[in-house]
Amino acid sequence: MNTMVDLPDWIRRPARTPSPARGRVALVGAGPGDPELLTLRAVRLLRDADAVVYDALVAPEVLDFVAPHAERLYAGKRSSQHSMPQRDINALLVRLAREGKRVVRLKGGDPFIFGRGGEEIETLAAEGIEFEVVPGVTAACGVSSYAGIPLTHRDHAQSCLFVTGHLKEGSADLDWPALVRERQTVVIYMGLSALPSICAQLVGHGQRADMPAAVVQQGTLPEQRVVTGTLADLPRKVAAAGLRSPCLTIVGEVVRLHGRLAWFDPVGATLPAAAFGA
């Protein structure tokens, strides 16, 4: 049985009504997985949507907020596994809006953090389609919080970098000197397959081989797993643990805090289906 929350009237009102001739598109961040990390704006738009175009990294429980009558369109977009090319997604959003529909483009994490949200709204703007962007809890913030690893800490890190670990021609093409500075945390998205290369490159560009690092699989979800180590031994530990995407890599002294600050119990975690009421 779903737990119903008594919401104020303003959240129950429709988000906005498109004109009969043209609809509108909302790029909505679905967060890192746990549906309770959705914003109220995201929930309201999902409830009111006529069509939802969603990615592979959107947790199934998030879709419980979508109204039964809404059209659901899977766009894929998992690392190295794109079921729909980006240009086709852009065209789909334009077509649905021109049919007068209220469209939600649902993206894991935040639309503007490695989510190609900027590319999609560039197309919408060029086509004269009305749009809005609803930020989400990006994976770096959500996953690190659930892993008990603060991204900044007065004693350990005064800056934080987000980078993508996608392979380019067989290696990760990153600004390595910028990633090995003192007293900073580096968060690497989509870098599991390139982890041995990433760790070797960081050490090769001057980072300490004993720098703490962690890989978190399916952060914020009951399936969350955390493997910690150093740049020297993390690839071996991750391979031995059999971690699979989606994963996030965190490098920095803050990883040392995981043992003391980890609060999330994946074994006892439960994800309420549509806690706000469908």
Domain ranges of the chain: 9-137, 140-261
Give the pLDDT means over successive 10-residue stretches in the chain (278 positions): 55 60 91 96 97 94 95 79 83 97 97 94 97 97 98 97 77 86 96 94 97 98 97 98 96 97 83 43
Taking alpha carbons only, the member of 106, 121, 102 closest to residue 24 is 102
**What pLDDT is recorded for position 4?**
47
CB of 243 closer than 8 Å to CB of 195: no
State how far the Cα of 8 lies from the Cα of 67, in Å rounded to an integer.
19
- Which pTM does this prediction carry? 0.87
In this predicted structure, what is the pLDDT of residue 3? 43
Res 81: pLDDT: 54
Per DSSP, 60 falls in state G
Q: Which residues are catalytic?
A: 55, 77
pLDDT at position 30 is: 97
Alpha helices, DSSP H, located in the chain: 9-12, 40-48, 86-98, 117-126, 139-146, 176-179, 195-204, 234-241, 258-261
CATH placement of domain 9-137: 3.40.1010.10
Q: Are 179 and 173 in contact (CB under 8 A)?
A: no
**What is residue 198's predicted lDDT score, i.e. its pLDDT?**
95
CATH class given for the domain over 140-261: alpha beta
230 and 210 Cβ atoms separated by less than 8 Å: yes
